[in-house]
Amino acid sequence: TPENEILPPRPKKSKKGPSMIWETMEGYIPEREVFTGQPGPKFEFENLLDIFENFFDETIMNIIVEQTNLYAEQERTKKGMVFGRRSRDWDWKPVTVEEMYVFFAIVMLMGVVQKPSVRMYYSKNPLLESPVFP
């Protein structure tokens, strides 16, 4: 190979199977794929919530809630109920699907209304407050 040619680094050998070897493919001309489908959305949605629920349906939300609650319980057990006096762990209650939908909505809204810190979203200061956040 010429000195100026830059080749990708060789992959590290895998312990699980054969390693991959990069080769230069001189004269190779890839075939261009032609899109034959109809462009645009394949579903009709009445509102933004329908679009969101298309990706995060109740089945997925149940899994997220179940795993969130499992993780919280594991963390509480790992700490052995030794929390600081002001720890939120004392007041932990399992979350519900409805609460998780609200949490997702707040997180998405925080992407639209951007502030330098999370604390500012809940500020009561008239210059900083965002009444939409509780």
Q: What is the pLDDT of residues 83-95, one digit of tens each?
A: 666 677 677 899 9
Please tell me the distance from the alpha carbon of residue 85 to that of residue 15, in angstroms, as a whole number.
49
How many other C-beta atoms are found inside a 10 Å radius of the C-beta of residue 9? Answer: 6
The residue ranges of the chain whose pLDDT is under 70 are 1-5, 11-18, 80-86, 89, 133-134
Helices (H), 13-114: 48-55, 58-79, 97-112
State residue 19's pLDDT score: 77
Look up the pTM and report it. 0.60
Question: Distance of alpha carbon 51 from its chain centroid, rounded?
Answer: 17
